[in-house]
Amino acid sequence: MCYHDGRMETIASFLTRCNQRAVYRQGEAATRGAGRGTAVARLLTPEDIDPEGQEEARAFARLRHRLLLLETVLGGAFAVLVLASGLSYRLSEWLGALSRRPYLLVGGYALIFMGVYGLVMAPVAYYDGFSLPHRYGLSTQSRRAWLVDQAKAALLGWALGLVVVEVVYYLLRVMPEVWWVVAGVFLLGLSVALTSVAPVVLVPLFYRLTPLGDEELVARLTRLAERAEASIQGVFTIDLSSKSRAANAMLMGLGKTRRMVLGDTLYDDFTADEIEVILAHELGHHVGHDIWWGLTFESLVTLGGLYAAHQVLDWGVEVMGLGGLDDVAGLPLLALVMGAFMAVTMPLGNAFSRWREGLADEYALRLTGRPQAFVSVMVRLANQNLADVDPERWVELLLHSHPAIGKRMGRGERFGGGDRSAGGPLAGEKGHWVA
């Protein structure tokens, strides 16, 4: 499922994931370009779920799970190999001979490490990011455009990675006992800053954001935001169709940069009632302070990972012959521990996210009072996004950031059937969600 608040799933993963996930399926596909309010006027019911599409969705999901496993194993093996072969020590010695300045040594090492890692992973990234989405009819992007996006993302990733590595090694040098605490605080600050500038700096690198011209819909969504007591700096469209078939929407940014953003695919293919339900779900994240919940959770996990890295680097000094915690030859070890920690805690993060997503769904139902439109949204997204309506339980538990579509439809139907007993606030009852 591919709509969310732009924080629980970070902007970067949103950009790639939505590229890959969304699909434009036959049947519904005929509505594309037909103009709003014509072919998309009818609300869909669970009977409209495309059975052939579901078969494809399961095959696609299986492939993606194997790729995830491959990427994890390959990434880990790369770090282990660089360490065990002694390459890491030789590289840091060689760079040390060029300059004794620690920040140059660290920066040079980090750039080479990230560059070689990127090259090693490139074939998998190509298959996962380009071949597979095209094979399943998910992507609208040419190879060239995809490569340009990858180059931009790599440059951005390297620049950010370089800053993080330099700061972490500076802290390792000057405060070897508590570096991991300060690094955790720094990373939290960086996350807040990135969330804040995303709609004005990061997203425009990949997409065009333009104010939505449909005055009627803007007025309707603005009223909705007012009812949720959310201050929004305008309603925008984003040209998702330039890369994928995904229908998506989100609240983006923080404070003065906070805005409602609608995928052009969503605007073209969904009824106004459905769009309202989706944005109400996004407002549910806002009312539930999910950005801050997400940041807090992420920070705790990061802090845990940094502490584990602290212990393992200590071990590396004693057993593996690192020259000290701040020896840059230990960078692959640091990356390995952080990566492993993130992988192990991912199911926890997903469980947390599914809980918040469920609350946002509940909020959307209560704010709009449109259970039929809610169910219709789920059906439309299942058909368009090659999403398995009823995934195996272990897959959902480990990998899904949202409840399975089947469960979400069930929630809508129960609400429509008059079951309002699940609790949760009505519009404007701020704070209720935090408790």
> Nearer to Zn ion by C-beta: 79 or 375?
375
Single out the segment in contact with Zn ion by CB under 5 A; choices: 171-179, 221-229, 310-318, 359-367.
Answer: 359-367
Q: Minimum distance between the CB of residue 275 and Zn ion, rounded to whole angstroms? A: 15
Q: Which two tokens stand for residue 175?
A: 């405060």
> Nearer to Zn ion by C-beta: 259 or 310?
259
Q: Minimum distance between the CB of residue 379 and Zn ion, rounded to whole angstroms? A: 17
> Nearer to Zn ion by C-beta: 3 or 89?
3
> Nearer to Zn ion by C-beta: 232 or 360?
360
Q: Which two tokens stand for residue 406?
A: 């089947």
How many residues of this chain interact with Zn ion, rule: CB under 5 A? 3
> Nearer to Zn ion by C-beta: 149 or 362?
362
Amino acid sitting at position 229: E
| CA 183/CA 299 separation, integer angstroms | 10
Q: Minimum distance between the CB of residue 285 and Zn ion, rounded to whole angstroms? A: 6
Site pattern 88..117 for Zn ion (x: CB under 5 A): ------------------------------
> Nearer to Zn ion by C-beta: 4 or 25?
4
Residue matched to tokens 């992988």: 343
Phi, psi of 235 (to 5 degrees): -115, 125
Q: Minimum distance between the CB of residue 401 and Zn ion, rounded to whole angstroms? A: 9
Amino acid sitting at position 333: L
Q: Minimum distance between the CB of residue 433 and Zn ion, rounded to whole angstroms? A: 13
Amino acid sitting at position 335: A
Rg for the chain, CA atoms, rounded: 23
Residue 228 as a binder of Zn ion (CB under 5 A): the answer is no
Residue 354 as a binder of Zn ion (CB under 5 A): the answer is no
> Nearer to Zn ion by C-beta: 4 or 380?
4
Single out the segment in contact with Zn ion by CB under 5 A; choices: 3-11, 27-35, 246-254, 412-420.
Answer: 3-11
Contact 23, 138 (CB under 8 A): yes
For the beta carbon of residue 307, count every other beta carbon within 10 angstroms: 15
Maximum distance among all alpha carbons in the chain?
73
Q: Which strands make up the sheet holding 209-211, listed edge to edge? A: 209-211, 235-238, 259-263, 249-252
Q: Minimum distance between the CB of residue 136 and Zn ion, rounded to whole angstroms? A: 24
| CA 138/CA 22 separation, integer angstroms | 5
Burial 393-427 (b: 16+ CB within 10 A, else e): eeebeeebbbbbbbbbbebbbebeeeeeeeebbeb
Single out the segment in contact with Zn ion by CB under 5 A; choices: 83-91, 251-259, 349-357, 407-415.
Answer: 349-357
Residue 252 as a binder of Zn ion (CB under 5 A): the answer is no
| Residue whose beta carbon is closest to Zn ion | 4
Single out the segment in contact with Zn ion by CB under 5 A; choices: 4-12, 75-83, 206-214, 268-276.
Answer: 4-12
Q: Minimum distance between the CB of residue 9 and Zn ion, rounded to whole angstroms? A: 9
Identify the three-state secondary structure at position 50. Answer: coil
Q: Minimum distance between the CB of residue 403 and Zn ion, rounded to whole angstroms? A: 10
Q: Which residues pair with 139 in a beta bridge?
A: 244
> Nearer to Zn ion by C-beta: 245 or 356?
356
Report H helices in 99-214. Answer: 102-126, 132-135, 143-174, 179-197
Single out the segment in contact with Zn ion by CB under 5 A; choices: 142-150, 260-268, 340-348, 353-361.
Answer: 353-361
Residue 4 as a binder of Zn ion (CB under 5 A): the answer is yes
**DSSP 8-state symbol, 43:** P
Single out the segment in contact with Zn ion by CB under 5 A; choices: 156-164, 232-240, 357-365, 407-415.
Answer: 357-365
* Listed residue (5, 7, 8) closest to 400, CA to CA: 8
Q: Minimum distance between the CB of residue 378 and Zn ion, rounded to whole angstroms? A: 12
Strands 209-211 and 235-238: antiparallel
> Of the candidates 249, 360, 387, 389, which one interacts with Zn ion according to CB under 5 A?
360
Contact 368, 274 (CB under 8 A): no
Q: Minimum distance between the CB of residue 360 and Zn ion, rounded to whole angstroms? A: 5
CA 262 to each of CA 103, 125, 213, 344, 427: distance values in angstroms, whole numbers, following the listed order? 43, 28, 12, 33, 21
Identify the three-state secondary structure at position 322. Answer: coil
For the beta carbon of residue 188, count every other beta carbon within 10 angstroms: 17
Angle between helices 331-368 and 290-319 (to 10 degrees): 170
Q: Minimum distance between the CB of residue 279 and Zn ion, rounded to whole angstroms? A: 11
> Nearer to Zn ion by C-beta: 15 or 360?
360
> Site residues for Zn ion, window 286-315 (CB under 5 A)?
none
Please report, as ranges, the residues that interact with Zn ion according to CB under 5 A.
4, 357, 360
